[in-house]
A and B are shown apart, each in its own frame.
Chain A
Amino acid sequence: TQLLEQSPQFLSIQEGENLTVYCNSSSVFSSLQWYRQEPGEGPVLLVTVVTGGEVKKLKRLTFQFGDARKDSSLHITAAQPGDTGLYLCAGPDRGSTLGRLYFGRGTQLTVWP
């Protein structure tokens, strides 16, 4: 059983479209992080959300942390081919910010020119 469930698992869209991916859990997290991973590479940290209800923007990417700190979403506006990759959400061990991270299985995004 995955502690963090991500949906959709796969997403294939045309350049210029908008999209949202979701990360849900029945557990409360002190923070959630989003990573993007490209083939053959390690995950790269995009953002960390800490406060319930928090919204963070990174250019065309908008990240939201749910009020109850059990879920998060990533919205991409006007997707570009360079956004292609595996998007992973992750959260630390319950009650701890140290060391261990739990990962969702990821959303594989493909943006076609």
Chain B
Amino acid sequence: KAGVTQTPRYLIKTRGQQVTLSCSPISGHRSVSWYQQTPGQGLQFLFEYFSETQRNKGNFPGRFSGRQFSNSRSEMNVSTLELGDSALYLCASSLRGESTEAFFGQGTRLTVV
């Protein structure tokens, strides 16, 4: 059974641009959560989607947004990129949204220059 797939693995963007990251959950999983990981803050929760609905949102500015499609695939978008947005963005999927059974993808390493 394939794991969680995140694309692209690496991305370099310029300040002010926008970026879209993609996450394909494990087949059959209906919940997708997104996290930002930086050396200074560790893993910080961005948002969670379940059956195409945003169910939970972390304390990030409105420049960070996401969505989930009917096939459970999810995308997150960051607009007007800032240097501080440089991070590893991780996606986790679970069958029913239970946090005790979350499986993470390899992440997308975003560098903003």
Residues of A with Cβ closer than 8 Å to B?
2, 31, 33, 35, 40-45, 48, 50, 88, 90, 92-93, 96-106
5 A-B Cβ contacts within 8 A? A31-B99, A42-B90, A42-B104, A48-B101, A88-B43
A105 interface neighbour in B31, B42, B98, B103, Cβ under 8 Å: B42
Q: Measured between C-beta atoms, what is the minimum distance from A73 to chain B in Å?
A: 19
On B, residues with C-beta under 8 Å from A are 4, 6, 31, 33, 35, 42-45, 48, 50, 55-56, 58, 90, 92, 97-107, 109
* Cα-based distance from A96 to B31 in the complex (angstroms): 15
How many angstroms from the CA of A41 to the CA of B107 in the assembled complex? 7
Q: Is chain B's binding surface mostly helix, strand, loop or mixed?
A: strand
Cβ 8 A contact of B102, one of A45, A88, A104, A106: A45
Q: Are A99 and B105 in contact (CB under 8 A)?
A: no
| Option from B43, B90, B98 in Cβ contact (under 8 Å) with A97 | B98
Instruction: Give Cα distance in the complex from A61 to B84, angstroms.
Output: 36
CA gap between A102 and B59 in the complex, in Å: 12
- Chain B residues near A103 (CB, 8 Å)? 35, 42-44
Shortest distance between the CB of B50 and any CB in chain A (Å): 7
